[in-house]
Structure 1
Amino acid sequence: MSSSSPATRNATLPVTFRPTRTRVILLTMGVAMFAVVAFVGLTLERLNTGERISFVFTGLLFLGVLLLLSRPKVVADDRGVTITNITGVRRLEWAEIVRVNLRPGDPWVFLDLSDGTSLPVLGIQPGVAREQAITDARALRALVDERAGHSAS
């Protein structure tokens, strides 16, 4: 029998974990930076057309980088977990996850995997919202314990 709490047994899957505050800050800054750089590039009278286009593309580059940084998330469903980090996506079955770690000072959660490796999970990070990250890490740990058949450690 599973020793999971009623909250995890009745959890509705799929569930998504992501650093929402960090995402809002990054997207807001990206849009603001693009708007300012594009506005400056389009309103400076001494710039030729190529230079104006360069300003707009520079603003788009800033926005694109911040969009990539806001991408991380973790989606848990009945079959396993999908980890979306900055540039990659990895699908794990529940049995592949041995442990969910978020130690003091860690920038994000790490998953210990059955093949002996560790996988960073940028979708749960305590930088801006520490308490939310701890809550999310505990929820993911409870799901792993329940779904993968691990005993709580």
Structure 2
Amino acid sequence: MNGESAAEPPPLPRTFRPGRTRAILLGGGCALFLVLTVIALLLPGLGPAERTSFVFTAALFWGALALLSRPRVLAEESGVTVVNIASSRRLDWAEIVRVNLRSGDPWVFLDLSDGSSLPVLGIQPGLARQHAVRDAQALRALAESRGGSEPRAPQGQR
């Protein structure tokens, strides 16, 4: 993210999530479940166990796609909750040193006060780059207004 952060942080609470990606994953999972279920019911010569295995497989695919659609970031007055595919982490605003979305990054990274970096899959530029940039700028403005972020160094001095 090369632009300056937004001057005014957005109101809280605020949830950031990749809307288009989520819609595609959940819609695709639903469609896949329906198609496999219809196939299981319409194929002649299948027994109850085989039909059940079709529906069970369809449910597993839908569940996997629902899990992939889970990432989000919940910003509240007390801090931030980062929900990734298989993990969730609660952070105080003071723990966030910097919000990064550089060109080519698959998602936002949070630099934390303990020296580690946390990937934030809830803001990803894959299908909606401008939306992700706006969300990253909003999250950066929130972090800076809450006193957890360091002031930005001028370009070229990092």
Q: Where on the TM-score scale, by shorter chain, does this alignment land: which range? A: over 0.9
Q: Mind listing any 5+ residue stretches in structure 2 that lack a counterpart?
A: 1-5, 153-158
What stretches of structure 1 move > 6 A for 4+ residues in a row?
none
Kept in 1: contact 2:25–2:66 (CA 8 A): yes
Partner of 1:18: 17
Pair 1:135-2:134 in alignment: yes
Q: How many residues align?
A: 147
Distance 1:150 1:89 in 2: 21
Structure 2 letter corresponding to 1:20: G
Pair 1:47-2:46 in alignment: yes
Q: CA deviation at 1:79?
A: 0.9
Secondary structure (helix, strand or coil) at the match of 2:82 reads: strand
Secondary structure (helix, strand or coil) at the match of 2:41 reads: helix
Kept in 1: contact 2:74–2:81 (CA 8 A): yes
Secondary structure (helix, strand or coil) at the match of 1:53 reads: helix
Partner of 1:117: 116
Partner of 1:64: 63
Q: TM-score when scaled to structure 2?
A: 0.89
Structure 2 letter corresponding to 1:75: L
Partner of 1:79: 78
Kept in 1: contact 2:125–2:131 (CA 8 A): yes
Q: CA deviation at 1:42?
A: 1.4
Q: CA deviation at 1:87?
A: 1.5
Distance 1:65 1:124 in 2: 20
Q: Please list the CA deviations of residues 23-64 of structure 1 after superposition, one character each: whole Å capped at 9, or x if unmatched.
A: 111111000000001110111111111110000000001100
Q: Mind listing any 5+ residue stretches in structure 1 that lack a counterpart?
A: none
Partner of 1:94: 93
Distance 1:143 1:121 in 2: 15
Partner of 2:155: none
Pair 1:31-2:30 in alignment: yes
Distance 1:134 1:66 in 2: 25
